Amino acid sequence: MNRARAFTLVEVLVSLAIFALAAVALGAAYVNLILAHEALRRTEPQDEALRLARRALLAEPELEAAETGDEVVLTDERTARWRAEIEPLPVADLFSATLEVEVPAPDRGSTEKFTETHVLLRPTWSTEADRKQLLDDAKRRLDEERARL
């Protein structure tokens, strides 16, 4: 007589227990993900303003326009004003940009200022003469180092 193999009751119960533990763990991870997403969505308004201003600064190809700045519209219909102080560094096409953002308070009675500094590689902000001077200085320093060795 040919008997078919089947799972025993104990094997089925053990597999259901393992499945239930995995489902609980995945459910807890999903709830944590939803809570983290909600917390990020409710971040301070200045975070959004800084992020949008930073994006506008990085998208600006002209040095003068970046220093003048512009306005960005926030999701709650407020308008934040940004500008940047940009200083060339002693490396070709490398700049230190201090981003200043003015965010109106939600009651629109006052404004808050936020500042952050970035080091940016922006060839479009360099002038050819400055770039050539920096490269020539670097070559001269390298030649001096080689001569010392």
pLDDT of 114 > 70? The answer is: yes
Share of the chain above pLDDT 70, in %: 93
Strands (E), 7-69: none
Report the pLDDT value the prediction gives residue 2, as an integer from 0 to 100: 66
Could you identify the residue written with the tokens 């089947």? 6
CB of 111 within 8 A of CB of 103? Answer: yes
Report the pLDDT value the prediction gives residue 104, as an integer from 0 to 100: 84
Kindly indicate the confidence band of residue 27, based on its pLDDT and cuts at 50, 70 and 90. Answer: very high
Residues present in the chain in total? 149
CB of 82 within 8 A of CB of 102? Answer: yes
